[in-house]
Amino acid sequence: MSALLSIATAVPDHRITQSEVLAVLAKARGAALPARLEQILGNSGIDQRYLACEADYYLEPRSWTSRAAIYGQVGTELVQKAGADALEKAGFLPSDIDAIVLISTTGTMTPSIPSRMIEAMGFDQATQTIPVFGHGCAGGVLGLRLANDLAAANGGQNVLLVALELCSLSYDYSQFDKKNMIATALFADGCAAVVISGKAGEGDAPAFRAFEQKTWPDTRDMMGWEVGATGFDLVLARDIPTFVTRDFAPFCDAFLEGQGLTKSDLAEPACHPGGGRVVEALEAYFAPAIAAIPATRAILREHGNMSSPTVLFVLEHILQQKPDKPILLTALGPGFTAALGIVDPQGAA
């Protein structure tokens, strides 16, 4: 398996607290907020988030054209910042990279962002570019799996993985149904970049041990996007915390058993948080072997749910603590799909 050489993250300039979100929503509605909405916001586990635009932008009518322009401008800035920082941390030049993978579900461009990065950042013209659309919140772990496979190809390659999401571009404050209130309470914008190498000589770096994923039948209504009149509209129809307990837990048990591990063998897991209730369900699953998942809670609290990059923010946080046990990666996303992985710190098996 390949080595994880570096992780870097980036967020937009516009920070907003949950109390400010309440004020924005009240302004959009033209009246005091329903008590239920305040309760949803209060139970989200989020203190602040970062958005692509100033708050007032989200109160104006928007078109596909305007959303796409912001995705192109802000998204490109975040990708270049996170990508450059990840390369610097790994001690690499752009010319050292053989392939660029972009994971994103909240926008798309043609030519793709990875293709545009080649000239803008000085990558070799032969660099392979792989834009991947549609993984949603599972994209961080699924992207690592793809990057790991690419790094192992052709006798060993260096891969730059980038996960970019501007979830705020899907907000529609003209609608006050449950799913839009949840989107408003949870989702945010951010980007993460990871340098992964399958070449020899990286034995001291953290290394990937294994990956697995599962897509359950008859679950497409649980999470995803629908194409709306002005942008992507959130699909969120079922209780994900209940799914964690009933369906995800046995799948994760089987994965760990297949790797000869128990929960007590693990360091703190790097979990995509989803929301406050999802974090509670994950903590219940890991207890009592693992008392809590503070890194997951911290990233949710400070950044909200950024979809695919979020688990990479969590993994960066955990690796900075220099754990000496394997790290389990978990994420749930559209399909409905669970994605799992294991990282061994410092290349230890």
- Between 65-74, 147-156, 174-183, the lowest mean confidence (pLDDT) is in 174-183
Buried b (16+ CB within 10 A) or exposed e, 83-108: bbbbbeebebebebbbbbbbbbbbbb
pLDDT of residue 328 exceeding 90, the answer is: yes
DSSP-derived 3-state class of residue 309? coil
End-to-end CA distance of the chain: 11
Q: How many CB atoms lie within 10 A of CB 47?
A: 13
pLDDT of residue 68 exceeding 60, the answer is: yes
Cα–Cα–Cα angle for 236, 241, 243, rounded to 5 degrees: 85
As a whole number of angstroms, the distance between CA 243 and CA 328 comes to 19
Average pLDDT over residues 140-153: 97
As a whole number of angstroms, the distance between CA 215 and CA 238 comes to 15
Long-range Cβ contact pairs of 90-94 (< 8 A, separation 24 or more): 90/5, 90/6, 90/195, 90/197, 92/5, 92/158, 92/195, 93/122, 94/121, 94/122, 94/123, 94/124
Average pLDDT over residues 86-102: 98
pLDDT of residue 349 exceeding 50, the answer is: no
Report the pLDDT value the prediction gives residue 177, as an integer from 0 to 100. Answer: 64
Residue 182: which pLDDT band, with cuts at 50, 70 and 90?
A: confident
Provide CATH 3.40.47.10 ranges for the chain.
3-197, 207-347
- Between 19-28, 239-248, 302-311, 317-326, the lowest mean confidence (pLDDT) is in 19-28
Residue 63 in contact with residue 174, Cβ under 8 Å?
no
Instruction: Give the gyration radius of the chain's Cα atoms.
Output: 19
Tokens of 246: 């009933």
User: Would you identify the CATH topology of the domain 207-347?
Assistant: Peroxisomal Thiolase; Chain A, domain 1 (3.40.47)
User: Would you identify the CATH topology of the domain 3-197?
Assistant: Peroxisomal Thiolase; Chain A, domain 1 (3.40.47)
Report the pLDDT value the prediction gives residue 259, as an integer from 0 to 100. Answer: 97
Helix %, strand %, coil % of the chain (to 5):
45, 25, 35
